[in-house]
Amino acid sequence: MTAATSSEPPPISVSTSQACCGFRDNDGAGSWSTFIVEVGTPAQPARVMVSTAGNEIWVVVPQGCPDKYGSDCAKNRGGIFTVENSTTWTNIGLYTLELETNLGYTGNGQYGHETVSLGYPGSGGPSLDNQNVAGIAAPDYWQGVFGLDATPSNFTTLNEPQASYLATLRNQSRIPSTSWGYTAGAAYRYGKVQGSLTLGGYDASRFSSQNVTLPFYDDVARRFLVQVSAIKYIPTGLSTTTTSTTLASDPISLYIDSTVPYIYLPDAICEKFESAFGLKWNDTTEIYTLNDTMHTALQTMNPNITFTFSTSNGQHLDITLPYKAFDLNASFPVIPDGTINYFPLKRAANDTQYTLGRTFLQEAYLMADYDRSEFTIAPCVWPSTFKSDIMPILPPSADNTKTNVTLTGTQKHSNTPVGAIVGGVVAGVSLMVGATLLFYFFIYRRRHMTSDSSPDPTTGPSAYAAVGQGDPSQVDPTKDKSELYGHCNDTELDSAHEREKRNAELAGKPILGSELPSSQPVGSELESPQIFEMPAREPVAKEMESSLGPGQNPKTGEENCNYLDKDKKTRFSFEG
């Protein structure tokens, strides 16, 4: 990989809220590093989790803190964003939150365009106008998120893609490439090691030179798909015992996603964990718990759990997590009240739920390069002191530029003739145009023709009647939240823009040295055909329209300023 020249902007290293203000936030599933965004004018700060799957910025709004959640709710949820207090909010409408729906997460968001700055006040972080922001109240997403994905958002039409924060930074030449590097940090190591986020590059001080680079999976909702060939553990606390126990030996495809804290595995593997660690499944809270005796024994034993990653060309990479990475506490909203020891493992209902969540990324560093459609996974390293070594990831156009600094490693080159590439591109464009026309005439046009007679859901009097159907003050976190919050089963977020970025092969140097190259998809799941074109999201507000006038409380019928947007034109509430 080549280093940046003077003509390239440097990467942006984003500080955690812990570095700024001493915060480590708890989403009910553990203590994590968060990052600060400032939203609106004047700026309103919020602490948010990093989402490697999301492409938008979500912040909690006042309706997300009913009295039942207590006086510390605003602090516990990372801060509150009040739309009425911003002079730069431009409303888009009410839409379903299309993130982790395959895991049963539900909720609605009040979307708008807004000014967003990244980093704590006065840090000099980037500030961008007209960013996609959703105000959320649903408890499934306890804190807001900062989406790293480069895919644009679409609202009702595929012809008006809204660029993500990462893509906007690149479009404005504020980072060297459409890329990032991230690790979640580890509260159990040294003095609570913070997370690390770099836009347009990576922090070379945080991971090992042994790593593996893989192509993006074709489904944009599951880009970071890896094959795990084995899961084993060794009770390292017993110095004379080195025999490993196998928890999984059959290859399985898992999706890496920092949005959720858990690791989702098939029942058969979960049963092996249950037996090895004395875990008990709670059907009500749907988490694994362990009693105090077993918890103490595991702390003494301190087993290491190793995930072995494999590529189609026979390469292997081990990433090991100590028991401390799984030694977490559950609290509200994961459980109704109190605090208990729990193990962040979940039973997956099907293979679409197989996930390596934030727990895994405590010990793993993930890099994504959207310009080359590939990602790199590496084990973290733990020196006694950290000194950041921020390195850029350059775009493919810079690969042949002579520079002063390079990283050693095996280079990957395309052997495909130019004619074949051109022919493939032409054929792909033709296919895309044909698919778009078919979609327009048979799906999109039909959907909008049937809704033309309905009032405009984005301007009608009830457009903002609820960000979540159901009263947040009545939330019982032990119940199925689909009963409490609206959920639209249209289609997943996607954009035709994404296909234009994918080529059959992209010639370029590896992200970093000593990588284990792989040019083939990982796992049998990758061999199946994928759907690239997906319809844009439809607003959910039309389902909530009523005869109430602007500003009327839908429960009492009385006028209430909480149900008006800042222009006093439409009702704006998150309660049903």
User: DSSP secondary-structure letter at 337?
Assistant: S
Angle ∠(208,213,215) on CA atoms, nearest 5: 160
For residues 441 and 12, the model is more confident at 12
Which range, of 88-92, 211-215, 313-317, averages the lowest pLDDT? 313-317
Structure tokens at 173: 């030449």
Distance CA(90)–CA(112), nearest Å, equals: 5
pLDDT tens sequence across 138-174: 999 999 999 999 999 988 766 778 999 999 999 999 9
HSE (side-chain half, CA atoms, 13 Å) at 174: 17
pLDDT, residue 385, reads: 82
* Residue 237 pLDDT class (50, 70, 90 cuts): low
Distance CA(256)–CA(325), nearest Å, equals: 16
For tokens 């002063």, name the residue. Answer: 404
Distance set, CA 13 to CA 324, 384, 567 (Å)? 27, 21, 37
| 237 CB-contact burial (10 Å; exposed 0-12 / middle 13-18 / buried 19+) | middle
pLDDT tens sequence across 471-516: 333 333 333 333 323 333 333 333 333 333 333 333 333 334 333 3
3-state secondary structure of 92: strand
Greatest alpha-carbon span in the chain: 75
Q: Report the relative pairing of strands 355-356 and 252-256 from DSSP bridges.
A: parallel
Distance CA(548)–CA(565), nearest Å, equals: 15
Distance set, CA 358 to CA 326, 333, 461, 544 (Å)? 11, 17, 40, 35
Distance CA(420)–CA(247), nearest Å, equals: 45
Distance CA(479)–CA(63), nearest Å, equals: 20
Q: Which residues contact 434 (CB under 8 A, 6 or more apart)?
A: none
The gap from C-alpha 85 to its chain's centroid, in whole angstroms, comes to 28
Phi, psi dihedrals of residue 391, rounded to the nearest 5°: -120, 145
Which range, of 19-28, 202-211, 277-286, 366-375, averages the lowest pLDDT? 19-28
Distance CA(461)–CA(10), nearest Å, equals: 47
Distance CA(572)–CA(574), nearest Å, equals: 7
Length of the chain, please? 576
Is residue 132 within 8 Å of 113, Cβ to Cβ? yes
Is residue 147 within 8 Å of 130, Cβ to Cβ? no
Domain ranges of the chain: 1-209+363-410+418-517+532-576
* Residue 238 pLDDT class (50, 70, 90 cuts): low
Q: Which residues contact 550 (CB under 8 A, 6 or more apart)?
A: 461, 564, 568, 569, 570, 571
Report whether pLDDT(429) > 60.
no
User: How large a percentage of the chain has pLDDT more than 70?
Assistant: 66
Residue 125, amino acid: G
Domain boundaries 1-209+363-410+418-517+532-576, corresponding CATH code: 2.40.70.10
Distance set, CA 202 to CA 167, 178, 364, 365, 376 (Å)? 17, 12, 13, 9, 11
Q: How far apart are the first and last CA of the chain?
A: 53
Distance CA(462)–CA(543), nearest Å, equals: 9
Q: Which residues contact 312 (CB under 8 A, 6 or more apart)?
A: 518, 520, 521, 522
Residue 463, amino acid: A
Report whether pLDDT(16) > 70.
yes
pLDDT tens sequence across 248-278: 999 999 999 999 999 999 999 999 999 999 9
Structure tokens at 483: 């009963």
Nearest C-alpha neighbor of 422 from the set 509, 504, 350: 504
Which range, of 272-276, 281-285, 347-351, 567-571, averages the lowest pLDDT? 567-571
pLDDT tens sequence across 36-49: 999 999 999 999 99
Which range, of 156-160, 265-269, 298-302, 432-436, averages the lowest pLDDT? 432-436
Residue 442, amino acid: F
Distance CA(112)–CA(395), nearest Å, equals: 31
Three-class DSSP labels, 452-500: CCCCCCCCCCCCECCCCCCCHHHCCCCCCHHHCCCCCCCCCCCCHHHHH
For residues 352 and 455, the model is more confident at 352
pLDDT, residue 241, reads: 55
H/E element, 113: strand 108-118
Residue 387, amino acid: K
* Residue 397 pLDDT class (50, 70, 90 cuts): confident
Distance CA(519)–CA(479), nearest Å, equals: 44
pLDDT tens sequence across 114-137: 999 998 877 889 999 999 999 999
pLDDT, residue 414, reads: 32
Give whichever of 204-208, 406-410, 460-464 has the largest mean pLDDT: 204-208
Structure tokens at 451: 């809704």
pLDDT, residue 19, reads: 54
Mind giving me the DSSP string for 343-398?
Answer: E-EEE-SSGGG-EE-TTGGGSEEEEEETTTTEEEEEEB---SS----EEE---GGG
pLDDT, residue 157, reads: 64
Output the pTM of the full model: 0.74
Structure tokens at 455: 């009032």
